[in-house]
Amino acid sequence: MKAILSLLPICFFANTFCLAQPKFSITLKVEDTSAYTAYHNEPLIFTTSLVNKELQQNLQWNRAADAWLTEVAADYKAGKLSKEEFEKETELVTKGKKEVTTAIVGTRQLPWFHQLAFRMFLNNDVAQDPWPISMLGDPLTDSIAVLDDKGYFRVAHHLSPEQVTKRKPGTYKIQVLLAGVWSNTVTVKIRQENIPAQILKTENMQLRLGNYYLQGKDALKAMEYATNVLKKSPADIGGLVLRGEIYILENKYKPALADFKTALQHHNKRFPNLQEPPEYLLATIEWLGKKQ
């Protein structure tokens, strides 16, 4: 049978692949990438995300199997398959369906993000003592990670500028462990030199540092960087949004609303033909309007 011959190799390789996969996957990033070069006094942000790839793959397999069964039933009804062929094909595909198991990690007493264990190596092979990596702000995620077909969980950790200065310059490889599952490896190269003055003054670096302190809920420090940006460029959209978010952190909703409205005005002037509306700006303005 053509149907059987085309499905059997897929079944074999899919079974082999799925059995080799963990019940959930961990993706680690540093500064939203897999490799980052940092100055010796620059903060580092690590993000860890969880997803159940095996379950998603198995669901996709089962959906394809159901679609195939529908085609087989149609062929049988049309007289293209004998009863024996139909029954054999149906049995084969049905037996090939995958088990769909939801993974659950963490408890309310011991959240999954408090179970993360980082390990790092310098220049590929020199194991390092654990870095003082800590949560960045409040974890905007549930304590219990229910990893079903829609389950996606993410948390941010950081190493402060002061802590980075204590690290020996070099190239580090870093992984994170959770419930017996290792993440991918990210690479961090720490330079010997601090952030040069000309780079520190750039809008990108000022906004990056401002947003870092905002995530850490240090409103005073974050405002320094927002002010620096807006002194130089009062119409800077990133600076206006940063300052508006700082005001939100401080529960100062009226000036926050003014900043977000101004940011929207400059956005519309800069991108008059943009088809996609700035959803974040619009949603935040609407939310702030209800706070007045």
Specify the domain boundaries for CATH 1.25.40.10 within the chain. 197-291
Specify the domain boundaries for CATH 2.60.40.2970 within the chain. 23-52+101-190
Query: Phi/psi of residue 53, each to 5°?
Result: -65, -35
The H or E element that residue 29 is part of is strand 25-30
- 209, 284, 275: which is closest to 241 by C-alpha? 284
What integer pLDDT is reported at residue 12 of this predicted model? 33
Strand 103-105 vs strand 126-127: parallel, antiparallel, or unpaired? unpaired
Q: What is the DSSP letter of 189?
A: E
What integer pLDDT is reported at residue 170 of this predicted model? 96
Q: Does domain 197-291 have CATH number 1.10.3660.10?
A: no
The letter for the amino acid at 3 is A
* Angle, alpha carbons 124-129-130 (nearest 5°): 100
pLDDT averaged over consecutive 10-residue blocks of the chain (292 residues)?
38 39 84 97 97 89 92 90 90 91 93 96 90 93 93 96 96 96 96 97 96 97 98 96 98 97 94 86 95 82
Any idea which residue has 């039933």 for tokens? 73
What integer pLDDT is reported at residue 274 of this predicted model? 82
What integer pLDDT is reported at residue 104 of this predicted model? 92
Q: Which CATH class for the 23-52+101-190 domain?
A: mainly beta
The letter for the amino acid at 65 is A
**Cα-only R_g, the chain:** 26
pTM for the whole thing?
A: 0.81
Residues 61, 94 contacting (CB under 8 angstroms):
no
